[in-house]
Amino acid sequence: MAGNNTSLQGKFGIIIGGSGLVGGAIVHYFKKKWGCEILAPNSKQLSIRDSEDIRGFFQELRPDFIINSAIAAIDSNPKISFEINYLGTINIAKVAAALGIPYIFFSSAAVLPEGENLTEENHRPLRPAMSNYAKSKLMSELTLEHLRKTEGLDHTVVRLAIVYGKHDHKIQGFHRLLFSVADQSMPMLFTGRNVCHSYSNAKKIPYFLRHILLNREEFSGQTFHFVDPNPVRLAQLILTIRSYLELKRPREMYLPYPVARFGANFLKKAIKQLIRLGIDARMPPELMFLKNFYETQTLSAKKLKSSSFVDSFPNESVFTQLPEVIQYYLTRWEQLNLIAAYDKEFFDPQRLSEEFLNSPETLLADIHADRVSPFSAFRTDKQ
C-alpha cells in the first residue's frame, strides 16, 4: 500500500475476529464509515486454528491488507491457545508475507511485567509458567519479528491494555468489572488503594489502524502501545461506576491480596467438588488475573504520541465514556435477564426517561424549543 495514500476507499481488507469487541469496531468503521471493502469471516467460515482452512480461504483472495483480532477464550487450554493464538497468527502472517501485504496483529499488556511507564521494548521473559494467553501473545510477537527479518513480512503489532467500549458480547475484561459492580457481587474493593492500569478505547482503534495502513513506511515492523495517555486508578474507577449506579456496594474497603487469594483458592476447591457432584460450575476466568488487580501496570504512550498519528478524540477517556458504556451494557444485561432491572434514570444523563414518564408535555416543549437535544446528528459526509 502506498505511503502517501489518504484514503482506504476501494481497498479490500480481511478482518479476522470481526465479531469480537475490537474486531467489531474495526469492521464498523472500515466498512460503514470509510467505504472499504471488508471480508470478516466468523470462526465457522474460517477457523484460524486449522491451517488447511486458512490455505483454502486465501487461495482465491487477493486482499490489500489483513487485520487479525481473533483470540481464543482467555482461559483456553494450552492446545487451543497455542493453535489459535500462536499457530493461527503465524500462518496468517505467512499468507501476508507471501502476498506482500501489510499484516496488523493485536498483542496485549499481558506480555509486559508489572511496573510504570513500560515501553514497547519491554516484555516479560518467555517462561513456561506464563499464562497460556500471555505466552501465546509473546511468542507471536517474537515470531512476527523473526518473519520480518527472514521473509520480509510487513507487519505492525498493536499492544492493547484493558479495552473499554460497546458491543462486548462476552462480558470479559473491563466489562466483567462493570458487571460485578452492577450485579453487586463485589462486596468490597479487590485492589490496593493506589493501583493503576492503562486503558484502550475500542472506538479509537480503527482510526489508528487506518493511519498505520496508510503510512507503512513509518509503522512497518513496529510495535505500538495503543493506550489512553493517562493511567487510571482502579479503585477510583470502581467507585465512579458505583456512584453512577447509585449503589452502596462495593464498600470503600480494600481487601488485602493474601485474603483475596485465599478466597479464590477456596472457590477453586469448592468448584472442583461441585464438578465431582455433576454440577456444572466454572471459575470466573478473570480470577486468573487477580494478582493484576493488586499490581500497577501502566504502558507508556510516548511512542504513539511522537508518531504522526493524531488522536481525533484527545479528551476521551474511560471516565468520559462511562455514562454511555454503562447505559449500553445495563440495557443489554437487563434484556438478557442477567441483572435485575435498573431504574433508567440512574444512568440517563439528561434524565429524559424520567421526563418521558412524568411530564411528556414539558419534554416535548423542551425538545421543540431546542432546550434539550436527544437526537443524533445525521451527516451525509463520511468521516
Ligand X SMILES: NC(=O)c1ccc[n+]([C@@H]2O[C@H](COP(=O)([O-])OP(=O)(O)OC[C@H]3O[C@@H](n4cnc5c(N)ncnc54)[C@H](OP(=O)(O)O)[C@@H]3O)[C@@H](O)[C@H]2O)c1
Report the interface residues with ligand X, using CB under 6 A: 16-17, 19-23, 42-43, 46-49, 69-72, 84, 106, 108, 160, 162-163, 170, 173
- Which position's Cβ is nearest ligand X? 20
Task: State the DSSP string of 296-337.
Answer: -EEE--HHHHHSS---S-TT--HHHHHHHHHHHHHHHHHHTT
- Count of Cβ atoms closer than 10 Å to residue 159 Cβ: 25
Give whichever of 14 and 16 is closer to ligand X, judged by the CB atom: 16
C-alpha cell at position 162: 484493558
C-alpha cell at position 278: 455433576
If residue 290 lies in a helix (H) or strand (E), which one and from where to where? helix 290-293
For the CB of residue 157, give the shortest distance to ligand X in the complex, in Å.
10
Round to whole Å and give the CA distance between 168 and 297.
Answer: 23
For the CB of residue 257, give the shortest distance to ligand X in the complex, in Å.
22
User: What DSSP character marks residue 61?
Assistant: -
Round to whole Å and give the CA distance between 88 and 143.
Answer: 12
Round to whole Å and give the CA distance between 16 and 40.
Answer: 6
User: What DSSP character marks residue 203?
Assistant: G
Round to whole Å and give the CA distance between 19 and 23.
Answer: 6
User: What DSSP character marks residue 351?
Assistant: -
Give whichever of 19 and 353 is closer to ligand X, judged by the CB atom: 19
Round to whole Å and give the CA distance between 10 and 78.
Answer: 40
For the CB of residue 235, give the shortest distance to ligand X in the complex, in Å.
19
- Give which of 34, 155, 145, 51 is closest to 99, Cα–Cα: 155
Give whichever of 89 and 327 is closer to ligand X, judged by the CB atom: 89
For the CB of residue 162, give the shortest distance to ligand X in the complex, in Å.
5
Give whichever of 24 and 192 is closer to ligand X, judged by the CB atom: 24
Give whichever of 61 and 364 is closer to ligand X, judged by the CB atom: 61
Give whichever of 70 and 255 is closer to ligand X, judged by the CB atom: 70
Q: Are 154 and 105 in contact (CB under 8 A)?
A: no
Give whichever of 91 and 215 is closer to ligand X, judged by the CB atom: 91
If residue 197 lies in a helix (H) or strand (E), which one and from where to where? strand 196-197
Give whichever of 211 and 344 is closer to ligand X, judged by the CB atom: 211
